[in-house]
Amino acid sequence: MPPTHRISGTPGRARRTPLRIALSAGIAVTAVAVATGPAGTATAADPEPAARQAQHVEYFTGPGAHPRHTEVPASPELSPSERAQIKGDGDVVPIVQAGPTATKLDVVFIGDGYTASQQGDFHADVRAKWAKISAVEPYASYKSLFNVWAVDAVSRQSGVSGDPTNTTVKDTALGSAFFCDGIERLLCVDTNKVESYAKKAADPDLVIVLANSTKYGGAGYNDITSPSGYDGIATASSDNAQSDQVAVHETGHSLGKLADEYWYDEYGTYTGAEPWEANISKLTAAQLTAQKKKWYRWIGRTSPDGGTVGAYEGGGYYPRGLYRPTADSIMRTLGRAFNLPGREAMIAGFHRHASVVTAETPTDRAVRRDDKVRVRVAHGITLRWSVDGREARAARGDATVTPRALGVPGDGRTHTVTVRATDPTDAVRDPQLRTLLTDSLTWRVRR
């Protein structure tokens, strides 16, 4: 596993002492929490009980710095009074509504350190933070795939523990705290409480905790597989200009399933199996090309993060024996762009949660020949309509049609109208990933 700074002892209740703010946060043990190791490391299916008492988190010491990892204690189980308090809290406020939750990727922001009178500030902070996240490619090109929700968690005090110093203690809804594990920029949170608030949203796919603070910091809890369906939690301060980059990097793990592309010198040479992640490999550029593996389709192309796609030694925490696609992407250093293989993986990740087409005319009931059938798609999506399996070529690209105009006969029999939507982007080259970029909808047509 990556080098860690371990905390000994039993996890305590939130804010027990100012000097041990780390114990006010941690991560939930949801089902069986298995610690993530470096690339290619096998993990136990049923770890020893002690392994369930800690969770690996990723943190960032400053803008432009390479991330690090550490362990923090698991969050304590919620008390009956805490459960009762959360049950009566947590209004869900829509920020961006692009379509039904079943066909969109639902981003859930939960605020911490905002009092009852500051929930309007929280909503404004969510809008501002999402604007910065969604300005990063490939988010910018795929904004139409996202719903954004704000879940109000009312804190008794404004601000969060550890800001500005490690002796600062705040009574907040989620127990957010800097100086977690003694690391100033590590912003931990009580993940049992996060889970309780997140599931108030209908279908959380991505969860970001926004702490009411100007202090730089954040964390990524990437070992979580939540009962509510999301993978991982990102934390970030609300009013720091660079903290959005923390969240973007963490979504590289949760949505793109990407590996870290940085390393620790003390790790030496990697000798394990070929990693499963798309952006690290044991193979050189020549071997990737010869064997047609991983990012071979991108080799030689100029990448958005600068430079040329190839195979650069160092990644997955190892300085030698593993290669990454480019010299310095956001999976290595905050503030950089996703490289071409990373961008491809992110787009595929978006489409694992969101469809390329949304039905505005419900598909669960029949339509008539003269009814208008409408769908919603992003700019650039190709649409092809068919009647009983035969394409109506004249309707290519139309988002609104009528069965009569498509050629459905008025013979009193039931027919089907189908639309097939495809994202033709050249940012995805892997044929297996491209299957995620096509979807279809079908309506029954009857008299």
Provide DSSP, 30-65. -SS-----STT----SS--GGGGGEEEEEE-SSTTP
Q: What residue type is 427 in one-letter code?
A: A
In whole angstroms, what is the distance from residue 71 CA to residue 2 CA?
Answer: 10
In whole angstroms, what is the distance from residue 112 CA to residue 187 CA?
Answer: 12
State residue 23's pLDDT score. Answer: 33
Both tokens of 239, joined, read 């009013």
In whole angstroms, what is the distance from residue 115 CA to residue 328 CA?
Answer: 40
In whole angstroms, what is the distance from residue 187 CA to residue 234 CA?
Answer: 10
How, if at all, do strands 105-112 and 146-151 pair?
parallel
Closest C-alpha among 129, 324, 147 to residue 208: 129
Using left for φ > 0, alpha for ψ between -120 and 50, and beta otherwise, residue 323 falls in beta
Question: Hey, which residues does 189 pair with through a beta bridge?
Answer: 26
CB–CB of 325/339 below 8 Å? yes
Q: Considering the entire predicted model, what is its pTM?
A: 0.85
State residue 129's pLDDT score. Answer: 96
Question: Hey, which residues does 375 pair with through a beta bridge?
Answer: 359
Distance of CA 194 to the CA centre of its chain: 15
State residue 242's pLDDT score. Answer: 85
State residue 51's pLDDT score. Answer: 40
Domains, the chain, ordered by start: 18-254 (3.40.390.10), 265-353 (no CATH), 358-445 (no CATH)
In whole angstroms, what is the distance from residue 53 CA to residue 27 CA?
Answer: 9
CB–CB of 107/168 below 8 Å? no
State residue 2's pLDDT score. Answer: 43
Q: What residue type is 283 in one-letter code?
A: L
State residue 67's pLDDT score. Answer: 84
| Residue 236 φ then ψ, to 5° | -155, 150
State residue 19's pLDDT score. Answer: 29
Both tokens of 264, joined, read 């620790």
Closest C-alpha among 295, 292, 264, 266 to residue 281: 295
Residue that has been written with the tokens 């859930």 in this structure = 108
Q: What residue type is 354 in one-letter code?
A: A
Question: Hey, which residues does 444 pair with through a beta bridge?
Answer: 416
In whole angstroms, what is the distance from residue 415 CA to residue 388 CA?
Answer: 6
- R_g of the chain computed on alpha carbons: 24
- One digit per residue, the tens of pLDDT, for the chain of length 447 reads 444 332 222 222 232 223 233 333 333 222 222 233 444 433 323 333 334 478 889 998 877 777 888 989 888 999 999 999 999 999 999 999 999 999 999 999 999 999 999 999 999 999 999 999 999 999 999 999 999 999 999 999 999 999 999 999 999 999 999 999 899 999 999 999 999 999 999 889 999 999 999 999 999 998 777 888 888 899 999 999 888 888 999 999 999 999 999 999 999 999 999 999 999 999 999 999 999 999 999 999 999 999 999 999 999 999 999 999 999 999 999 889 999 999 999 999 999 999 999 999 999 999 999 999 999 998 899 999 999 999 999 999 999 999 999 999 999 899 999 999 999 999 999 999 999 999 999 999 987
Helix (H) or strand (E) holding 163: none
3-state secondary structure 360-390: CCCCCCCECCCCCEEEECCCCCEEEEEECCE
CB–CB of 255/308 below 8 Å? no
State residue 222's pLDDT score. Answer: 84
In whole angstroms, what is the distance from residue 38 CA to residue 276 CA?
Answer: 11
Distance of CA 203 to the CA centre of its chain: 13
